[in-house]
């Protein structure tokens, strides 16, 4: 229809993911062949992973568990250890979590590395876009994140009140207020 703007997000996501997987597979293949350019890229990626380890390890494990459960909403995961991996309070629970993390890294190593690779690519693109804009006098306005991702909530459950989410109080537009459904 003329005049109706639509975006095929699922199509775009799938194609982008396919392109990233192809790039990752090529990177892995060339790295295994001792390609010097890939060795340099690997050093950059390892540096990125090291500098961002505080969030990247948790996020990549979340990605692995999302693959395992074919669902990226952690409250629906069937295993209690997986739902609470970074929130074990007892010494025994923490030991169990450490063992589970090692198991996930072994079982889902490729998915974890792919996720880290994608995060590296996104960070590089963001940095290059920012530098281009600054060097060419381009000013940008963008939305800011106003809540926490499910990944953040999963990894830091002790920081959130159970059953509470962001929203707004009653006002002219909504006499009962609005629950936005995210933390």
Q: If you average pLDDT over residues 95-120, what whole number do you get? A: 97
Q: Residue 149, Cα to own-chain centre: how many angstroms?
A: 9
Contact predicate 121/23, CB 8 Å: yes
Each residue's pLDDT tens digit, 155-181: 999 998 888 878 888 888 888 888 887
Q: Report the candidate in 126, 154, 122, 159 with the shortest Cα–Cα distance to residue 55.
A: 154
Each residue's pLDDT tens digit, 9-38: 999 999 999 999 999 999 999 999 998 989
The whole model's pTM is what? 0.85
Contact predicate 86/156, CB 8 Å: yes
Query: Count of residues for the chain?
Result: 183
């Amino acid at each position: 229809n003329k005049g109706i703007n639509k975006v095929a997000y699922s199509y775009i996501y799938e194609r982008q993911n396919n392109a990233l997987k192809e790039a990752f597979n090529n990177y892995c293949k060339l790295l295994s062949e001792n390609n010097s350019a890939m060795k340099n890229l690997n050093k950059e990626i390892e540096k990125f992973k090291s500098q961002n380890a505080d969030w990247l390890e948790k996020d990549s494990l979340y990605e692995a568990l999302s693959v395992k459960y074919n669902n990226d909403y952690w409250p629906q995961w069937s295993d209690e250890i997986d739902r609470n991996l970074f929130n074990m309070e007892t010494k025994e629970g923490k030991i169990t979590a450490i063992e589970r993390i090692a198991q996930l890294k072994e079982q889902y190593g490729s998915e974890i590395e792919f996720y880290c690779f994608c995060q590296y690519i996104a960070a590089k693109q963001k940095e290059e876009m920012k530098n281009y804009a600054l060097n060419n006098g381009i000013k940008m306005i963008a939305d800011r994140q106003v809540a926490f991702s499910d990944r953040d909530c999963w990894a830091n459950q002790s920081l959130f009140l159970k059953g509470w989410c962001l929203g707004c109080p009653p006002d002219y537009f909504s006499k009962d207020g609005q629950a936005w459904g995210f933390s």
